[in-house]
A and B are shown apart, each in its own frame.
Chain A
Amino acid sequence: MLRGCGMVWSRVRSLWRNWFRRGGVDADLDAEVLAFVEMSAEEDAARGVTPEEARRRALAEVGGAERLKQQVREGRAGAGIESVMQDLRFGGRQVVKSPGFGLTVMATLALSIGITTAVFSVLYAMVIRPLPYQDVSRIAAMDTRSASGGPQAASYPEYVDWRKMQHSFTALAGYSPQGAVGMKSDAGAVVLNEVEGTDNFFTVFEVNPVLGRTFAAGEDEDGRNNVVVLSYEVWQQDFGGKADVVGRRVQMDGSAYTVIGVMRAGFRFPINVMNSIYVPLHLTPTQRDNRGNHWLQTVARLKPGMTARQAEADMDTIFAALGKTDMFDAGRTVHAVDLTMYVVGDTAGSLRLLLYAVLAVLVIGCVNVAGLLLARGVKREREMALRSAIGARRGRIVRQLLTEALLFAVCGAGAGVVLAYGLLRLIRMLLIASLSRGAEVQVNLPVLAAALGISVGVTVLAAMMPALRLSGTSPTMALKAGGSAGTTRGQHRLRTGFVVTQVALALALLVVSGLLLHMLEKLRTTELGFNPGQMLTAEINLPRGRYAGRDVLADFYTPLVEKVQAMPGVRAAGLIQMLPVQGWGWNSEHIHIYGTAPLKNPRTDPAEVRFVTPGYYKVFQNALVEGRLGDAAIDRPTTRLAAVVNEAFVKKFIPAGRDPVGMEIGDNDQMETLASQDNPRVLIVGVVKNIRQSIYQPPFPEMDYNIAQIPPAVSLNAIGSMHLVVRTSVAPESLVPQLQKVLHDVDATVPLREPETMMQVVADVLTFQRLENWLFGAFAGLAVLLAVVGLYGLISHEVELSTRDIGIKLALGASRGRILEGIYRRVGWMLGVGVVLGLLVTVAAEKFIGAVVAVGLAKDGLLIVALAVGLMGVGLLAAAVPARRASGVEPMEALREE
Chain B
Amino acid sequence: MTGELHGLGVSRRVEQMTRGTFQVKPGSLFPALHRMEENGWLTSFWGESENHRKAKFYRLTKAGERQLGKETAEWQKIALAMGHALKTAKGV
Name A residues whose Cβ lies closer than 8 Å to a Cβ of B: 3, 6-7, 9-11, 14, 28-29, 31-33, 35-36, 38-40, 42-43, 61-63, 67-68, 71-72, 74-77
10 chain-A/chain-B pairs, Cβ below 8 angstroms: A7-B63, A10-B38, A10-B39, A11-B38, A31-B54, A39-B8, A62-B26, A62-B27, A63-B26, A71-B30
Contact of A32 among B27, B31, B56, B66 (CB under 8 A): B56
Bound-complex Cα distance A71 to B28 (A): 9
Q: Distance in Å from the Cβ of B73 to the closest Cβ of chain A? A: 14
Contact indicator A76/B51 (Cβ below 8 Å): no
Bound-complex Cα distance A391 to B71 (A): 34
Is residue B25 contacting chain A, with contact meaning CB distance below 8 A? yes
- A29 contacts across to B, CB distance below 8 A: 34
Residue count of chain B within 8 Å CB distance of chain A: 22
Contact indicator B39/A7 (Cβ below 8 Å): yes
Check A7/B25 contact, CB under 8 A, given A31-B54, A35-B53, A71-B31. Answer: no
Contact indicator B63/A35 (Cβ below 8 Å): no
At the interface, is chain B mostly helix, strand, loop or mixed? helix
Q: Distance in Å from the Cβ of B33 to the closest Cβ of chain A? A: 9
Contact of A9 among B27, B31, B35, B40 (CB under 8 A): B40
- B37 contacts across to A, CB distance below 8 A: 14
- B38 contacts across to A, CB distance below 8 A: 10-11, 14, 76-77
Contact indicator B27/A68 (Cβ below 8 Å): yes
- A7 contacts across to B, CB distance below 8 A: 39-40, 63
Bound-complex Cα distance A76 to B40 (A): 13
Q: Which 10 A-B pairs have the closest CB atoms?
A: A10-B40, A14-B38, A75-B31, A32-B56, A35-B55, A62-B26, A39-B8, A72-B30, A72-B31, A77-B38
Bound-complex Cα distance A35 to B31 (A): 16
Check A39/B25 contact, CB under 8 A, given A3-B63, A72-B34. Answer: no
Q: Distance in Å from the Cβ of B68 to the closest Cβ of chain A? A: 13
Q: Known A-B contacts: A32-B30, A39-B51, A75-B35. Give 12 more (CB < 8 A).
A: A3-B63, A7-B39, A7-B40, A10-B40, A14-B37, A14-B38, A29-B34, A31-B54, A33-B26, A35-B6, A35-B56, A75-B31
Name B residues whose Cβ lies closer than 8 Å to a Cβ of A: 6-8, 25-27, 30-31, 34-35, 37-40, 49, 51, 53-56, 63, 66
Contact indicator B54/A35 (Cβ below 8 Å): yes
Contact indicator B40/A39 (Cβ below 8 Å): no
Check A76/B34 contact, CB under 8 A, given A10-B39, A36-B7, A36-B26. Answer: yes
Chain A residue, CB-CB nearest to B35: A75
Q: Distance in Å from the Cβ of B61 to the closest Cβ of chain A? A: 9
Contact indicator B8/A75 (Cβ below 8 Å): no
Bound-complex Cα distance A10 to B44 (A): 13
Check A39/B39 contact, CB under 8 A, given A68-B26, A68-B27. Answer: no
Chain B residue, CB-CB nearest to A39: B8
- B39 contacts across to A, CB distance below 8 A: 7, 10-11
Chain A residue, CB-CB nearest to B70: A3
Bound-complex Cα distance A14 to B34 (A): 10
Chain A residue, CB-CB nearest to B56: A32
Bound-complex Cα distance A28 to B37 (A): 14
Contact indicator B55/A32 (Cβ below 8 Å): yes
Q: Distance in Å from the Cβ of A437 to the closest Cβ of chain B? A: 62
- B56 contacts across to A, CB distance below 8 A: 28, 31-32, 35
Check A63/B40 contact, CB under 8 A, given A36-B55, A42-B51. Answer: no
Chain B residue, CB-CB nearest to A42: B51
- A68 contacts across to B, CB distance below 8 A: 26-27, 30
- A32 contacts across to B, CB distance below 8 A: 7, 30, 55-56
Bound-complex Cα distance A61 to B24 (A): 11
Bound-complex Cα distance A198 to B57 (A): 97
Contact of B40 among A6, A35, A72 (CB under 8 A): A6
- A77 contacts across to B, CB distance below 8 A: 38
- A6 contacts across to B, CB distance below 8 A: 40, 63
Bound-complex Cα distance A747 to B56 (A): 104
Q: Distance in Å from the Cβ of B55 to the closest Cβ of chain A? A: 5
Q: Distance in Å from the Cβ of B10 to the closest Cβ of chain A? A: 10
Chain B residue, CB-CB nearest to A63: B27
Q: Distance in Å from the Cβ of A49 to the closest Cβ of chain B? A: 16
- B49 contacts across to A, CB distance below 8 A: 35, 39
Bound-complex Cα distance A43 to B6 (A): 14
- A74 contacts across to B, CB distance below 8 A: 31
Bound-complex Cα distance A72 to B32 (A): 8
- B55 contacts across to A, CB distance below 8 A: 32, 35-36, 39
Q: Distance in Å from the Cβ of B67 to the closest Cβ of chain A? A: 8
Contact of B53 among A11, A38, A61 (CB under 8 A): A38
Bound-complex Cα distance A35 to B50 (A): 13
Contact indicator B53/A39 (Cβ below 8 Å): yes
Interface centre among A31, A39, A77 (most CB of B within 10 A): A39
Q: Distance in Å from the Cβ of B44 to the closest Cβ of chain A? A: 9
Bound-complex Cα distance A71 to B53 (A): 25
Chain B residue, CB-CB nearest to A33: B30
Bound-complex Cα distance A7 to B49 (A): 29
Bound-complex Cα distance A739 to B31 (A): 91
Bound-complex Cα distance A28 to B27 (A): 17
Bound-complex Cα distance A809 to B50 (A): 68
- A43 contacts across to B, CB distance below 8 A: 8
Contact indicator A63/B34 (Cβ below 8 Å): no
Bound-complex Cα distance A14 to B38 (A): 6
Interface centre among B31, B34, B37, B54 (most CB of A within 10 A): B34
Q: Distance in Å from the Cβ of B20 to the closest Cβ of chain A? A: 16
- A39 contacts across to B, CB distance below 8 A: 6, 8, 49, 51, 53, 55
Bound-complex Cα distance A42 to B54 (A): 13
Bound-complex Cα distance A31 to B55 (A): 8
- B54 contacts across to A, CB distance below 8 A: 31, 35
Q: Distance in Å from the Cβ of A541 to the closest Cβ of chain B? A: 84
Q: Distance in Å from the Cβ of A69 to the closest Cβ of chain B? A: 8
Bound-complex Cα distance A36 to B29 (A): 11
Contact indicator B31/A61 (Cβ below 8 Å): no
- B40 contacts across to A, CB distance below 8 A: 6-7, 9-11
